[in-house]
Amino acid sequence: MAEDGPPTRELEAMSLESKVKWSKYSKRVLIKSILGRGDGGVALAGEKVIVGGWVKTGREQGKGQFAFLELNDGSCPANLQVIVDSSVRALGDLVPTGTCVVVQGELKKPPEGTKQNVELKVTDVLEVGSVDPIKYPIPKTKLRLDFLRDFVHLRPRTNTISAIARIRNALAFATHTFFQKHGFLYVQTPIITTSDCEGAGEMFQVTTLFSEAEKVEKELKENPLPSDADIEAAKLLVKEKGELISHLKSLKASKEEISASVVELTKAKENLAKMEERSKLTAGIPRKDGKVDYSHDFFARQAFLTVSGQLQVETFACALSSVYTFGPTFRAENSHTSRHLAEFWMVEPEIAFANLVDDMNCAEDYVRFLCQWLLDNCLDDMEFMVKNFDKTAIDRLKMVSSTPFKRITYTEAIELLKDVKDKAFENKVEWGIDLASEHERYLTEVHFKKPVIVYNYPKKIKAFYMRVNEDNQTVAAMDVLVPKVGELIGGSQREERYDNIVERINEMGLPIEPYEWYLDLRRYGTVTHSGFGLGFERMILFATGLDNIRDVIPFPRYPGKADL
């Protein structure tokens, strides 16, 4: 079988001269390679192909003599129109929405006046994954996105979620492309950590203590603990067996009698030891001085799901210069807003020998690169989002990709917001507050009408690792604010001075011990370095114009929801 041809000798031979591109590993032709051409596939008329996909809509025509199927395989938003005669296959098996088919046939130019550039005339149906249309929960009618969250395993079959998946894929690829292009090394940081990067305390704990307790509970149900009376009786038996042996020896009993009594004493002692050991079992969590004793836990100390890979990736930046991590992070924040998830993805670069200005330059270039990448590589899906959700989505990408960002200090932003007369903010504006989403969006959407980088925030509202400025009131922190979303990126120049960072840890009321390894980076060969974190799902919200972050991640986790 040829590596890049279809699964028959006849079609293998045809593929050598074919204009179509065969998928190397599934021996079919992707619908994108047909409809994604500049001519919409017109030049491929007459080519014999195999395609597979799911039926978006199907309808019988000509009194049941043939059927039209709109087939989609996920490679692009467009559907390939497929025509099947009843002589080839029973049409009732093929037309229900959601049916999966693999078909072989010839591409043909449709009659004049139809919207299709090319269609597939089926000569053979190779596979069918049937659907009961009465029970199938994803009908062809337009469905609300919140409804689809109850069917996360099936929602990728919808036009919207499949488009988001391709946009997400494009942004992930663009992320790696950007950082690899600029000499960054990709580092995989741990999901399980013993340190709290943000100092917020809203972390998911990782422990096996509860599972161990459940094992004990199960064991106790099967074999109840011995009572105090049982243990006392066992002790008395051991004493009696010991006294018997002493008595036998005084009587100069036979060796056989004494040996038999020794065996019985040994058994009695073993039974007592087992009973005393079992009496120590408890179905509760081990405690010490009234607190949970984590020395009995899997990692012998408290451990959590990470809220950020930043602290860990800094260790590589302080050895390899330019690095980045891209992975899942977790927040145990009981929030039900449209902007919060319990599990989400972060892109976190870290740059050695770089100050805050360098950090802002990198962040701005990265965001502009992502926007241009979508325009260059994912325009068909973006056009779908414009048509169905946000008419300004493509214009927003064009504006961001081509416009220098505005940079203002936090103090300047506060003064600007205080002077606003045309809008009444719900959150009071005063120096020292953390800017709310309404403030951020006003700056980007109303005042400057473009992305804004706000820098030099009050140290009291920022994390301990951010470098304290000379005024001792602000830190070298920056946020990239964009229209539609508000804060997209948060970053800073890191505090590289040992004494200063110890002081900040103490100010925040954090324990020193979990950060000893982090302090070593300041003790041994300290270096100026900076970095930032981009919320990946927020970037997708910004790009697509969708309103709820739960709709831009494949498997959303939020309070009360962790399906699949």
Segment (H or E) for 325: strand 322-330
CA angle, 372 then 178 then 24, to 5°? 85
Residue with tokens 């292009």: 181
Going by C-alpha positions, the residue among 160, 132, 163 that lies closest to residue 144 is 160
Q: In residues, how long is the chain? A: 564
- Helix segments in 223-254, DSSP class H: 228-250
Burial of 494-518, coded b for 16+ CB within 10 Å and e otherwise, reads bbbeeeebbebbeeeebeeeebeeb
Q: How confident is the model at residue 216 (pLDDT cuts 50, 70, 90)?
A: low
C-alpha of 508 from chain center: 29
Rounded distance between C-alpha atoms, residue 452 and residue 442, angstroms: 11
Residues 408-425: pLDDT tens digits? 999 999 999 999 998 899
Neighbours of 563 (CB within 10 A): 11
Q: How confident is the model at residue 1 (pLDDT cuts 50, 70, 90)?
A: very low
Rounded distance between C-alpha atoms, residue 142 and residue 198, angstroms: 41
Going by C-alpha positions, the residue among 407, 445, 454, 403 that lies closest to residue 542 is 445
Q: How confident is the model at residue 256 (pLDDT cuts 50, 70, 90)?
A: confident
Q: Which residue has the higher pLDDT, 526 or 261?
A: 526
- Is pLDDT at 39 greater than 60 in this prediction? yes
Q: Mean pLDDT over residues 171-199, rounded?
A: 90
**DSSP-derived 3-state class of residue 218:** helix
Segment (H or E) for 386: helix 379-388
Q: Which residue has the higher pLDDT, 196 or 388?
A: 388
* Cβ contacts of 242 within 8 Å, gap of 6 or more: 265
Residues 516-535: pLDDT tens digits? 999 999 999 999 999 999 99
With residues binned 3-state (H G I as helix, E B as strand, rest as coil), the percentages for the chain, rounded to 5, are: 40, 20, 40
Phi and psi, residue 70, nearest 5°: -95, 110
**DSSP-derived 3-state class of residue 499:** helix
Neighbours of 397 (CB within 10 A): 22
Rounded distance between C-alpha atoms, residue 509 and residue 372, angstroms: 43
Going by C-alpha positions, the residue among 379, 292, 311, 395 that lies closest to residue 350 is 311
Q: Mean pLDDT over residues 535-552, rounded?
A: 96
Report the relative pairing of strands 185-186 and 192-193 from DSSP bridges: unpaired
Residue 507 in tokens: 């100010």
The whole-chain average pLDDT of the chain stands at 90
Q: Mean pLDDT over residues 197-218, rounded?
A: 71
pTM for this predicted structure: 0.85
Residue 287 in tokens: 């405690």
Report the relative pairing of strands 185-186 and 322-330 from DSSP bridges: parallel
Rounded distance between C-alpha atoms, residue 163 and residue 157, angstroms: 10
C-alpha of 171 from chain center: 14
Residue with tokens 């954090």: 510
Residue 358 in tokens: 């360098």
* Helices and strands of the chain, counted as H and E runs: 16, 18
Inter-residue contact 128 to 100 (CB < 8 Å): yes
Burial of 445-465, coded b for 16+ CB within 10 Å and e otherwise, reads eeebebbbbbbbbbbeebbbb
Q: Mean pLDDT over residues 123-130, rounded?
A: 97
Rounded distance between C-alpha atoms, residue 381 and residue 164, angstroms: 8
Rounded distance between C-alpha atoms, residue 82 and residue 70, angstroms: 6
Rounded distance between C-alpha atoms, residue 255 and residue 107, angstroms: 100
- Is pLDDT at 285 greater than 80 in this prediction? no
Residues 131-144: pLDDT tens digits? 999 999 998 888 89
